[in-house]
Amino acid sequence: MNEPMLFLPLIALLPLAGFLLNGLFGSRLPKALVSTIALLFPLLSFALVARAAWMVHAGLALPVAEANAPTWIAVGTFHVGFQFVLDQLTLVMLLVVTGVGFLIHLYSVGYMEHESGYWRFFAYLNLFLFFMTVLVLAGNFLLMFVGWEGVGLASYLLIGFYIDRKSAGDAGIKAFVTNRVGDFGFLIAMFLLIAHFGTLSFSRITAQLSAHPTLTTGAATLICLCLVLGAVGKSAQIPLYVWLPDAMEGPTPVSALIHAATMVTAGVYMIARTHALFDLAPAALTVVAVIGTATAFFAATVAIVQTDIKRVLAYSTISQLGYMFLGCGVGAYSAAVFHLMTHAFFKGLLFLAAGSVIHGLGGEQDIRRMGGLRKTMPVTFWTMTAAVLAISGFFPFAGFFSKDAILAAAFQHGSTGKLLWMVGLVTALMTSFYMFRLWYLTFLGQSRAHSASDGHDHEHHHHAHESPWIMLLPLVLLALLSVCGGWIGIDRFAAFLAPATGMASAAPNAGHTELFLSVLAVLVAALGWFVAHLFFGRRTSAADDAAQRLAPLHRVLEHKYWIDEIYTSLIIRPIQWFARFGLGWLGELTLVRGSVWLLVGVTGLCGELLRRWQSGNLRSYAAWLAIGAAALLIFALAGTLLGMNSLADSIHWAVR
């Protein structure tokens, strides 16, 4: 059989080569060369992916597994290799990751131009691409875990990129450790899988499941819940979402690539990838759906009152990821992946546009001090508009199709589905509202930079300028994708993905309901826009009034429900106290040190006693000598004199 050459490992290894080149020598290379290296390797990687996509289009049968995968761990009967597999789901993910990834690399060349750690930034960015491609190409759980942890590492490094900012370092640690909580679930899930299947290979597990489903529902649920914990950590869902807003400390392209378009969707990808397990565990799926819906709603409420442009987008990301979880939870994996894809387009675009705004304003991130940028930054404005329309779900933008597919699937999903759908719809309203709020405050109206009481950023606004072409090109391309990305339609998309994700339960639906739901969704989005227009479009003080009237609610939202504070005082502090006092004082000082002191004390006491024996007096030594000799004599004689054979025996034993 003529195996097609797909060079799957190369797709991952090319960015790694870029990382190594820039990481090892970048500090000594000229900037132009650094950018060339950083762009060339992801581009080559994307070219390979595109080639693979074209071959698939030309009729290549999927999945394709790399033959002769090198062994990684082989101990006893346990065997894991560096096994790369390409199937439909992977292909979609790869296109998104390398495609959007490359665009964001391109954008970064302009955005990061004046930063000091230029080479370092691109090295990390390439490293991220390496791990992300490993994650989606992995043919088994362990290799996926490599990418899983690896993107966490890259995220940590990039969030903490500004090493002179403490908040950046804090945010990086928070992200990594929170992700580790999820990884703990992933690890346990892998152990359970080894215990039940003896393998970690996706295809083997799926084959075993379909051949003879010996797995009980309970076991499947346990495995899936552990996986969900992992997905929740990576995809920033309740209760582990707290790291994502802080992750905005990183440079904006990072937020676009890692914390919007690709890495955070890994959890969704993982659930879709392991859908065979989840299909056996309806309870776990329900958990996924509920978590997703709750997160979508919750994050949207917070996003309404945030004033930092990147934080609004961060909460919006969390909310959209919630949609994807909802999609997975109701069994509409292809819809979730569809939304994942369109979201990568429009959310990547939103962040890049926001970055362009920040860049143009010289670092200003507070939307209350923006406004009126429509004139000065037309390209950014128009692309951003496309993205806002897309995320709000207006026909015919990309977001409409994918969000609609998820909501429709939820609507048709049993009795709880209706409730989930309702919440999803309300969330869509809020999404539309806060996105247009952002849009109005940033681009329309008059510039408010002067109204700020502290006038230190006057000059920023004076210099407000459109970004260079190298930043605008990715914006335009992503805007095109945000407009057209959904036109493929969920039906065709689901049909394409079907071999990898299973047939979506909601695929064939009656036209009526479908149409009704779609119209309703668009109406809701329009309502959101309208409300936003009322509050922010005309320069009235309506928004402030509303905020004052609902002051308690506003306060709660503004402080993000005090979740960070609650976590700190309920989890982190008690652990630290327990470690410091419970273990450090009680355990270490009392038990461990105590035993040392006891040991030292007893030894010292013995020494003190025996020391007195050594009087230095010759005659006392002689006396002891004599007594000792006499005692030995008596001891030796006693046996024979008294006939105590046992004593003699014991002497024999001792001497032997």
Residues 591 to 630 in contact with another protein, rule: CB under 8 A:
591-593, 595-596, 599-600, 603, 611, 614-619, 622-623, 626
Answer for the pair 475, 383: CB distance below 8 angstroms, yes or no.
Answer: yes
Spatial contact of 490 and 402, defined as CB atoms under 8 Å apart? yes
Any contact of residue 168 with another protein (CB under 8 A)? yes
**Binding residues among 309-348 for another protein as defined by CB under 8 A:** none
Residue closer to another protein (CB basis): 73 or 484 = 73
Which helix or strand (DSSP H or E) is residue 595 part of?
helix 594-613
Determine if 164 is a binding residue for another protein (CB under 8 A): yes
Q: Tell me how far, at minimum, the Cβ of 263 lies from another protein, in Å.
A: 15
Using an 8 Å Cβ cutoff, are 353 and 391 in contact? no
Q: Is there binding between residue 650 and another protein (CB under 8 A)?
A: no
In angstroms, the CA 5 to CA 21 distance is: 26
User: Applying CB under 8 A, which part among 150-158, 257-265, 369-377, 380-388 lies near another protein?
Assistant: 150-158
If the CB atoms of residues 7 and 184 are measured against another protein, the closer one turns out to be: 184
* Site for another protein contains 492 (CB under 8 A): no
Structure-token match 């820039």, residue found? 22
> Quick one: which of 322, 297, 325, 302 has its CA closest to 312?
302
- Rounded to 5°, the CA angle 273-278-281 comes to 175
Q: Does 184 contact another protein by CB under 8 A?
A: yes
Residue with tokens 């010292």, as numbered in its chain: 604
Q: Which stretch binds another protein (CB under 8 A): 67-75, 292-300, 347-355, 443-451?
A: 67-75
Query: Shortest gap between Cβ of 471 and another protein (angstroms)?
Result: 27
From 6, 8, 48, 69, residue interacting with another protein (rule: CB under 8 A):
69
Q: How far is CA 636 from CA 628, 639, 652, in A?
A: 12, 6, 11
Q: Given candidates 54, 166, 484, 519, which one binds another protein under the rule CB under 8 A?
A: 166
- Cα(635)–Cα(578) distance, integer angstroms: 58
Nearer to another protein (CB atom), residue 226 or residue 521: 226
- Part of the chain binding another protein (CB under 8 A), chosen from 161-169, 313-321, 405-413, 559-567: 161-169
The residues pairing with 138 across neighbouring beta strands, listed in sequence order, are: 84
- Stretch (H or E) spanning 47: helix 31-57
Beta carbon of residue 325, minimum distance to another protein (angstroms, whole number): 22
Cα 634–Cα 636–Cα 639 angle in degrees, nearest 5: 100
Closest distance to another protein from the beta carbon of 188 (Å): 6
Of 17, 50, 60, 146, the one binding another protein by CB under 8 A? 146
Rounded Cα distance, 280 and 81, in Å: 27
Least distance from C-beta 89 to another protein, angstroms?
21
Q: At residue 67, what are phi and psi to the nearest 5 degrees?
A: -75, 155
The partner residues of 34 in beta bridges, in order of sequence, read: none
Q: Of 54 and 578, which CB lies nearer to another protein in the complex structure? A: 578
Q: Is 642 helix (H, G, I), strand (E, B) or coil?
A: helix
Q: Tell me phi and psi for residue 629, to 5 degrees.
A: -65, -45
Picking from 557, 245, 307, the residue whose alpha carbon sits closest to that of residue 442 is 307
Identity of the residue, 157 or 312, whose beta carbon is nearer to another protein in the bound complex = 157
* Binders in 190-229 for another protein, by CB under 8 A: 190-192, 194-201, 204, 208
Task: Give, as ranges, the residues between 558 and 597 that touch another protein (CB under 8 A).
Answer: 575-576, 578-580, 583-584, 587-588, 591-593, 595-596
* Complex with another protein: residue 551 or 636, whichever CB lies closer: 636
Direct distance between the N- and C-terminal alpha carbons of the chain, in angstroms, rounded to an integer? 77
Question: Does the protein bind another protein through residue 172 (CB under 8 A)?
Answer: yes
- Residues 506-535, one symbol each (x = binds another protein by CB under 8 A, - = not), give ------------------------------
Dihedral through CA 54, CA 57, CA 63, CA 69, nearest 10?
-20
Question: How many beta carbons lie within 10 A of that of residue 523, not counting itself?
Answer: 12
Q: Does 434 bind another protein (CB under 8 A)?
A: no
Closest distance to another protein from the beta carbon of 576 (Å): 6
Q: Is 15 in the site for another protein (CB under 8 A)?
A: no
Contact between 440 and another protein per CB under 8 A: no
Distance CA 115, CA 106 (A): 15
Q: Is 637 in the site for another protein (CB under 8 A)?
A: no
Of 117 and 639, which CB lies nearer to another protein in the complex structure?
117
Nearest to 426, CA basis, from 412, 441, 413, 410 = 410
Cβ–Cβ < 8 Å for 325, 237:
yes
Pick between residue 40 and residue 207 the one whose CB is nearest to another protein. 207
| Number of chain positions touching another protein (CB under 8 A) | 81
The upper half-sphere exposure of residue 244, i.e. CA atoms within 13 Å in the direction of its Cβ, equals: 34
User: In terms of Cα–Cα distance, which of 301, 304, 299 is closest to 321?
Assistant: 299
> Least Å distance between CB 653 and another protein?
9
Q: Pattern of binders to another protein over 22-61, x per CB under 8 A?
A: -----x----------------------------------
176: contact with another protein by CB under 8 A: yes
Taking the C-alpha atoms of residue 390 and residue 402, their distance in angstroms, rounded to an integer, is: 10
Shortest CB 148 distance to another protein, Å: 8
Smaller CB separation from another protein, 188 or 503: 188
How far is 80 from 139, CA to CA, in rounded Å?
Answer: 10
> What minimum distance in Å lies between the beta carbon of 185 and another protein?
9
- Ramachandran region, residue 59 (left: φ > 0; alpha: ψ -120 to 50; beta: rest): left
Residue 414 or 584: the one with the smaller Cβ distance to another protein is 584
Q: How many Cβ atoms from other residues are within 10 Å of residue 641's Cβ?
A: 9
Minimum CB separation from another protein for residue 503, in Å? 27
What does the alpha-carbon distance between residue 513 and residue 497 come to, in Å, rounded to a whole number?
24
Helix (H, G, I), strand (E, B) or coil at 86: strand
Residues 75-114 that bind another protein (CB under 8 A): 75-81, 83
Bridge-based pairing state of the strands 85-86 and 71-75: unpaired
Residue with Cβ nearer another protein (263 or 386): 263
Mask for 532-551, x = binds another protein (CB under 8 A): --------------------
Q: Which residue in 4, 9, 63, 169 binds another protein (CB under 8 A)?
A: 169
For residue 597, the minimal CB distance to another protein (Å) is 9
Residue 9 sits in the site that holds another protein (CB under 8 A) = no
SS (H, E, C) 346-400: HHHHHHHHHHHHHHHCCCCCEHHHCCCHHHHCHHHHHHHHHHHHHHHCCCCCHHH
- Nearest distance from C-beta of residue 155 to another protein, angstroms: 12
> Which C-beta is closer to another protein: that of 553 or that of 572?
572
Provide, rounded to whole angstroms, the least separation between the CB of residue 617 and another protein: 5
Indicate whether 65 belongs to the interface with another protein (CB under 8 A). Answer: no
Which of 73, 515, 637, 651 lies at the binding interface for another protein (CB under 8 A)? 73
